[in-house]
C-alpha cells in the first residue's frame, strides 16, 4: 500500500511543481507585456484588450498562455514535416 501512496504523492508533487512554474511564467509574461505597453502601443496587453480588465481576468489570460505554452507539443523546423 505504501507504494501506491508514494506514487500518489509523487504525482501531486509534480502537479504542484507544474502549477508553480505556470504561475511564474504567467507573471513574467504579464510583466513583460506591461513594460512593453509603456513604450509600444502594440503590446499583447493592448492587442487583447485586457488593459482595463480586473486583475483576475488579466492573470487568467496570462495563466492560460503559460499552460498552453507548456502543454503544446510542437516541432519547430524548416519546411514541411515528414
The Cβ-side half-sphere exposure at 22, using a 13 Å CA radius, reads 19
- Give the torsion sign (CA, 11, 12, 14, 19): positive
pLDDT band at 80 (very low <50, low <70, confident <90, very high): very low
pLDDT band at 1 (very low <50, low <70, confident <90, very high): low
Tell me: the pLDDT tens digits for 2-41?
Answer: 889 999 999 999 999 999 999 999 999 999 988 888 888 8
Give the number of other CB atoms < 10 A from CB of residue 76.
4
Q: Give the DSSP per-residue string, 10-78.
A: HHHHHHHHHHHHHHHHHHHHHHHHHHHHHH-TT-HHHHTT-TTS-HHHHHHHHHHHHHHHHH------S
Domain boundary assignment for the chain: 18-71
Amino acid at each position: 500500500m505504501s507504494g501506491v501512496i508514494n506514487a500518489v504523492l509523487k504525482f501531486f508533487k509534480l502537479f504542484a511543481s507544474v502549477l508553480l512554474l505556470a504561475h511564474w511564467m504567467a507573471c513574467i509574461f504579464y510583466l513583460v507585456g506591461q513594460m512593453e505597453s509603456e513604450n509600444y502601443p502594440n503590446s499583447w496587453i493592448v492587442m487583447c484588450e485586457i488593459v482595463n480588465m480586473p486583475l483576475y481576468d488579466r492573470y487568467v489570460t496570462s495563466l492560460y498562455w503559460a499552460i498552453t505554452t507548456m502543454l503544446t507539443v510542437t516541432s519547430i523546423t524548416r519546411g514541411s514535416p515528414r
